[in-house]
A and B are shown apart, each in its own frame.
Chain A
Amino acid sequence: MKLREQAGRWLDQRYPMSALREGFGKQMHKLLPSNVGWVHTLGGMLLFLTAQQILTGILLMVYYRPTTDEAYESVRFLMLKASFGWLIRGLHAWGATLMIAVLVLHMLRVFVLGAFKKPRELTWVGGVLLFFTTLGFGFTGYLLPWNQLSYWATTVGTEVVASIPAIGHGLGVLVRGGEAVGQETLSRFYVVHVVVLPWLLVLLVVVHIVMIRTQNLASLDRVGEELPPQPGKGVRFSPEHLSRELVVFPLFFALLVALVILYPPDVGVKADSTVTPEGIKPEWYFLPTYQFLKYLPKLAGLALSAVPPALLLFWPFLDRTRARRPSQRKLSVSLGLAALFLTLLLGFVGYLSESDLTIFGTHLRFDMYGVPKRVESGR
């Protein structure tokens, strides 16, 4: 204790520690609007997942080798030989999946409760950019184990990029580092995944948090009629909201570890550029786009698939009504939920497409459009 006091005094004599302590304490005891509840803990979980992905990512880099000859073997090695390698990779892979899922739920909360409206439009835009950055992590990270699934999903994904009129071919070459997915692609994806995107993510997260802390969380009052939370009516960040986070966190972490143990990520078969396996698919969060592109001619599909991300990004500037309560924004909330339902449906059909399923003894084969056809036994 004496040592701590001495260290504190030593720092006080050199830096404005009391001002820093005061600022930190102010943030910790900040009064939040009274509507802040359990659904507001999703942001905290995302912060935890970000930290966990960075930590597990650094640990994976200890063994991972980003070359086409060694990438697959190094992932196998760390899974099978390195102590707790299976756990580290499992946490990273499932952490990525949960990050997307929690991000979607977090954005859904912000959307339904009208928290994206004035004066928080840019906080929403920053959040959507964080969502796109996370998808970028998913796309680049998927290739790194260099297995058949990741190789061919990346081939198809980069071919979609190369299909963009006029600039597509050049963009495809730039992304892949050549005409086909190979060592250059792996090197590029690795650099983007472990250096470029993490810095971008940290920058966006810091800006996002500063914006939230400066403007406070949104209440349910109409735009322009928001009043600062009143003492005795609001929710204090610490201890009230923080205790909610501390209840959700162990449950969330238990779910994550259970998923890692029950459904450990597969290493698959090593990438082979001469054989495309049947039924290759992207990660689940790209399935809706993947399926959507099948129903339309290539160019029309590409043009239309750019519409939902653009709508998402600019939504605060399109929906400029003043009400925040979902009960007073029935059209806007219905549109959003319908879009979410359509996305989930497309993803589900994409998941089923080009696969076989047996339901109550009936064998079904789903074609590329997701249309089931009965398959006679013995065929």
Chain B
Amino acid sequence: MADEPDFDRRQMLERVLVAGAVVWVAGVAVPSAMYVWPAGSSGPTSKYIEIDPESVAPGTVRVLGGVGKPVLLLRLKNGEFRAFSAVCTHLGCIVHWNAEQQTIQCPCHAGTFTPAGLVVSGPPPRPLATYPTQVVGGKLRIQT
């Protein structure tokens, strides 16, 4: 005599319906979750900015926007260029140059950095990211 099945046809139908609903939800949820993940977040990250070096007088700074995150370009009094990410490492505000104190400062939580981008005081956990600079064909190229 054959064993009695563990469940009848009605229960079988219910299980198929539940399994189908789970498959359908997963089938919709996975592509939807992947869809909302930013499409451009894994794109190329290495870019450069070119400017006329004479547009920045010694002892002054320029904040360069346009390509990626803003860049703080500092020209020291001896003519040397230093380029940093202008994004504060604390909470993402844009730093500025304090000519009087010769420091880089964040307007949000008073983070202060040296002209080399190192943290002097305040909450920033890391130095500012630095970018290499070089003069190519009379233009200053900042590799970001």
Contact = CB atoms under 8 A, between A and B. Distances in A.
Interface in A312-367: 354, 367
B109 A368 contact: yes
B70 A274 contact: yes
A216 interface: no
A378 interface: no
B33 to A, nearest CB: 10
A178 B38 contact: yes
Contacts of B93: 152, 155-156, 276, 280
B12 interface: no
B41 A173 contact: yes
Contact of A273 (B37, B65, B109): B65
Contacts of A179: 41, 69
Given A294-B123, A298-B125, A156 B108 contact: yes
A280 B108 contact: yes
A276 B108 contact: yes
A160 interface: yes
B123 to A, nearest CB: 7
Nearest to A156: B91
Contacts of B125: 298
Contacts of B63: 274-275
Given A179-B41, A274-B63, A298-B125, A174 B36 contact: yes
Nearest to B69: A180
Interface residues of A, number: 28
- A interface, over-half SS: loop
B20 interface: no
A376 interface: no
Contacts of B41: 173, 178-179
Contacts, number: 64
A159 B88 CA distance: 11
B107 interface: yes
Contacts of A178: 38, 40-41
Contact of A367 (B38, B107, B110, B123): B110
A135 B34 CA distance: 26
Interface string B94-114: 101000000000111110000
B92 interface: yes
B38 A173 contact: yes
Interface residues of B, number: 25
Nearest to B64: A274
A225 interface: no
B142 interface: no
A156 B125 CA distance: 15
A5 interface: no
Interface string A162-194: 010000000001101111100010000000000
A22 interface: no
Contacts of B94: 273-276
A152 B90 CA distance: 13
Contacts of A277: 107
A180 to B, nearest CB: 6
Contacts of A176: 38
Nearest to A301: B123
B92 A273 contact: no
Interface in B69-94: 69-70, 86-87, 90-94
Contacts of A273: 65, 70, 94
A174 B37 contact: yes
B107 A294 contact: no
A368 B107 contact: no
A298 B37 contact: no
Contact of B65 (A163, A173, A274): A274
A156 B123 CA distance: 13
A27 to B, nearest CB: 34
A306 B8 CA distance: 49
Contacts of B65: 273-274
Nearest to B92: A159
Interface of B: 36-38, 40-41, 63-65, 69-70, 86-87, 90-94, 96, 106-110, 123, 125
Interface of A: 152, 155-156, 158-160, 163, 173-174, 176-180, 184, 273-280, 294, 298, 354, 367-368
Q: Which 5 A-B pairs have the closest CB atoms?
A: A274-B65, A276-B93, A159-B92, A276-B94, A159-B91
Given A156-B92, A273-B94, A277-B107, 20 more contacts: A155-B91, A156-B93, A158-B92, A159-B91, A163-B91, A173-B41, A179-B41, A180-B92, A184-B40, A273-B65, A274-B63, A275-B94, A276-B96, A276-B107, A279-B107, A280-B107, A294-B123, A298-B123, A298-B125, A354-B110
